[in-house]
């Protein structure tokens, strides 16, 4: 990534303090970038496609709540390529306007996933109404604007700092081993010798055992299957695209062999990216 | 199903006119049932578990937008068994208070999936603000209460009839071949000679190729893989449960053989149900 000259435009969905924002900060660390935020995941994918931004950072999976299926579909629809991966630890906190007390809180604003990740905490506080909001950090922004003592948000510590809120309960997510995995996407694929993970999307011939045989080519070539997510093919009821992550580099002999062989089972196979995996 | 004596209590999430309600009506047709509605999917699963209702009807997958992942997790969490399957054709309509005109509509209420299924339609009407609502039929209920000429809902024809609304634009979903698949769940499994589809949930040994070998046992025993959906195992980052649908009856010799053999690859394998598939 360029560190001199014109800064590179990078985009994410949400507002400052969102987990997507933290992923951008972590991945682009000291790089010379300008950071742009968008309202929808789709806006980020569009901006990558039309060149408004060079890189988009989109959440693809949470270790507790699973794949963010909309993003899988957007990557296909807007022809994005995956050039990097970044994991961010999700640590939710209940935060409110300074001086508020836990017992005063009657309205909590967060993304539905935020609530579902903190289910046992909220079971202890049935008087707190859980109000679904655009994203977790936008909930914090709302609370900071209203300056009341009965509203709270559920989001990252960083958002509390950014919006001047006080943390009333820290680390309230049920699963303390909770990560969100982000893809860094671009309009063109990138080749890298260090890349060790391949994401592809395939549609299979409608024959019994086709998925089994597909996975067989990976297994016999020694590629480790890291993830598989099925997404419906629009207009064809109960037929699926498979988004598949395997270990390897596109220059490896075994990878080339596997990619040649799987053509026997696939109608379509597109390599969405070969990138350096985040080992955290 | 009983047609005489005490009616059997059946439940769904949403309000009358919702696609879940249509699934209940279609599946239980002329059966002697009382129909109860609940606010959340989770309330339905809980009511099945504690015996408040005998059967719950929950959407599991839409042919355009994919698996309803929350329901997969609820079936596991509340120990529900799948005893039936019902598909419902999704035909969305834009509806408003009688006398309203298409150009007057500035606010549309629906479930986010409703909007995403009608994307091309709404691209033609950028002045219509899309407001996410609890579910599609509840949007119709809201519009019928407000009696204004600028609000509309996106849902089934049946909801228009129930809430006295007028259809301004019919069949507005992009994909006219759009179905939602529902599971009928109960607290205990049911055995049936006519059952031809098996749903199971497995967790695999953390070894390379384990999913490949698992699918191999199905393939060599002649069981057709109909669906596979991965769901995260909470607390174990990037490890998954696989929800798998295969063809067959638990009494079939090949099915018994496959279920014995897959034990070599699985840590856990639970049969969630063996039921008559809906062929529509």
Which residue of chain B is at minimal alpha-carbon distance from A116? B70
Residues of chain B with confidence (pLDDT) below 70 = 1-3
The angle at the Cα of A138, spanning A134 to A140, to the nearest 5 degrees, equals 135
Measured between beta carbons, the chain A residues lying within 8 angstroms of B235 are 175, 177
Average pLDDT, chain A: 93
**Nearest in space to B118 (alpha carbons), one of B179, B174, B177:** B174
What percentage of chain A reaches a pLDDT higher than 70?
A: 99
ipTM: 0.82
Query: With an 8 Å Cβ cutoff, are A230 and B227 in contact?
Result: yes
**Rounded to 5 degrees, what are φ and ψ at A5?**
75, -155
Query: With an 8 Å Cβ cutoff, are B238 and A211 in contact?
Result: no
How far apart, in whole angstroms, are the C-alpha atoms of residue A139 and residue A136? Answer: 5
Give the mean pLDDT of A236-259.
94
A85 has which bridge partners? A183
Nearest CA distance, A77 vs chain B (angstrom): 13
User: Is A228's pLDDT higher than 70?
Assistant: yes
Residue-level pLDDT at B125: 95
- First-to-last C-alpha distance (Å) of chain B: 21
Asked whether A198 and B191 are in contact (CB, 8 A), the reply is no
Residue-level pLDDT at A64: 81
How far apart, in whole angstroms, are the C-alpha atoms of residue B230 and residue A44? Answer: 26
The better pLDDT of the pair A105, B39 is held by: A105
The better pLDDT of the pair B234, A198 is held by: A198
pLDDT category of residue A280 using cuts at 50, 70 and 90: confident
Residue-level pLDDT at B118: 92
Residue-level pLDDT at A235: 78
How far apart, in whole angstroms, are the C-alpha atoms of residue A235 and residue B139? Answer: 26
Query: With an 8 Å Cβ cutoff, are A238 and B226 in contact?
Result: yes
The whole model's pTM is what? 0.86
Best residue of A238, A241, A246, A262 to probe chain B, by most B CBs closer than 10 Å: A238
Give the mean pLDDT of A231-251.
91
Q: Which two tokens stand for residue B153?
A: 């809902």
Residues A199-218 have pLDDT tens digits of 999 999 888 899 999 999 99
Alpha-carbon Rg of chain B, whole angstroms? 21
Parallel, antiparallel, or unpaired: how do β-strands A33-38 and A8-13 relate?
Answer: parallel
**Nearest in space to B95 (alpha carbons), one of B85, B87, B105, B86:** B105
Please say if B241 is a catalytic residue.
no
How far apart, in whole angstroms, are the C-alpha atoms of residue B126 and residue B105? Answer: 11
pLDDT category of residue A10 using cuts at 50, 70 and 90: very high
- Closest partner residue to B215 among A61, A132, A212, by Cβ? A212
DSSP string, A75-135: HHHTT-EEEEEEEEE---EEEESTT--GGG--EEEE-HHHHHHTHHHHHT-TTSEEEE-S-
pLDDT category of residue A5 using cuts at 50, 70 and 90: confident
Residue-level pLDDT at A3: 57
Query: With an 8 Å Cβ cutoff, are A238 and B219 in contact?
Result: no
Residue-level pLDDT at A128: 96
Chain B residues with at least one Cβ partner in A under 8 Å: 61-67, 69-70, 116, 132, 174-175, 177-179, 181, 208-209, 211-213, 215-216, 218-219, 222, 224-232, 234-238, 240
**Rounded to 5 degrees, what are φ and ψ at A48?**
-70, -45
Measured between beta carbons, the chain B residues lying within 8 angstroms of A69 are 65-67, 69
Measured between beta carbons, the chain A residues lying within 8 angstroms of B245 are none
- Closest partner residue to A64 among B174, B175, B232, by Cβ? B232
Query: With an 8 Å Cβ cutoff, are B211 and A215 in contact?
Result: yes
Parallel, antiparallel, or unpaired: how do β-strands A93-96 and A81-89 relate?
Answer: unpaired
What percentage of chain A reaches a pLDDT higher than 90?
A: 81
**Which of the following is catalytic: B180, B183, B241, B266?**
B180
Please say if B176 is a catalytic residue.
no
**Rounded to 5 degrees, what are φ and ψ at B18?**
-65, 155
The angle at the Cα of B129, spanning B126 to B130, to the nearest 5 degrees, equals 110
The CB density around residue B140, as the number of other CB atoms within 10 Å, is 33
Residue-level pLDDT at B1: 54
């Amino acid at each position: 990534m360029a560190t001199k000259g014109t800064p590179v435009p990078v985009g994410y969905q949400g507002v400052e303090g969102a987990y997507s924002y933290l992923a951008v900060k972590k991945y682009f660390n000291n790089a010379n970038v300008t950071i742009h935020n968008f309202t929808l995941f789709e806006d980020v994918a569009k901006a990558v496609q039309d060149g408004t931004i060079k890189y988009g950072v989109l959440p693809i999976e949470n270790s507790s709540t699973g794949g963010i299926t909309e993003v899988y579909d957007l990557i296909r629809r807007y022809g994005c390529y995956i050039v990097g991966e970044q994991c961010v630890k999700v640590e939710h906190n209940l935060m409110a306007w300074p001086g508020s007390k836990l017992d005063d809180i009657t309205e909590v604003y967060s993304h539905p996933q935020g609530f579902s990740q903190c289910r046992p905490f909220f079971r202890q506080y049935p008087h707190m109404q859980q109000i679904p909001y655009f994203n977790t950090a936008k909930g914090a922004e709302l609370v900071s604007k209203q300056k009341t003592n009965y509203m709270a948000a559920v989001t990252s510590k960083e958002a509390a700092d950014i919006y001047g809120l006080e943390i009333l309960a820290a680390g309230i997510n049920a699963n303390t081993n909770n990560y969100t995995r982000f893809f860094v996407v671009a309009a063109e694929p990138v080749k890298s010798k260090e890349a060790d993970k391949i994401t592809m999307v395939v549609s299979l011939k409608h024959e019994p055992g086709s998925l089994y045989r597909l996975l067989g080519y990976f297994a016999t070539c020694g590629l480790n299957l890291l993830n598989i997510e099925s997404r419906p093919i629009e207009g064809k009821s109960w037929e699926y695209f498979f988004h598949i992550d395997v270990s390897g580099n596109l220059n490896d002999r075994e990878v080339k062999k596997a990619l040649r062989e799987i053509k026997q089972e696939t109608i379509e196979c597109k390599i969405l990216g070969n990138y350096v995996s985040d080992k955290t």
